[in-house]
Amino acid sequence: MRPYKHPAADQFALERIFQALSDPIRLEIVRHLDRVTEATCGELDGGRPKSSMSHHFRILRDAGLVHTRGAGTVHQNTLRRAELNARFPGLLDAILAQPAG
């Protein structure tokens, strides 16, 4: 399992983050990760095919929202909370304060 490419915090772009969050599936993933400290891709697929989920996770990674770490045969995902808060103070809180509707 080769390591994922995660952008450095100073390469985060607001537009890319918004683009990532404009999809309901991805927004739901982010909300879920906010509640659970970490989760595997499989825990978050909602019955969707793995290739679709892999696509969504890649977009979340590329935007800098999510960090994925291989742990054995599983991949653990976490929100990049600290870096996001440092780079865009208040943004994550404003997003996650919302109920899931």
Closest residue by Cα to residue 14 from 68, 100, 84, 67: 84
**Partner interacting with residue 9 (select from a second copy, DNA, none; CB below 5-8 Å by kind):** none
**Partner interacting with residue 54 (select from DNA, a second copy, none; CB below 5-8 Å by kind):** DNA
Scanning 20-28, 29-37, 83-91, 92-100 for contacts with DNA by CB under 7 A, the matching segment is 20-28
Q: Is 22 strand, coil or helix? A: coil
DSSP conformation class of 70: E
Q: Does 74 bind DNA (CB under 7 A)?
A: yes
CB of 40 or CB of 91, closer to a second copy: 91
User: From CA 87, how far away is CA 85, in angstroms rounded?
Assistant: 5
Tell me the one-letter amino acid at 61.
R
Please, are residues 26 and 20 in contact by the beta-carbon 8 Å criterion?
yes
Residues contributing to the site for a second copy (CB under 8 A):
13-16, 18-19, 21-24, 27, 88-91, 93-95, 97-98, 101
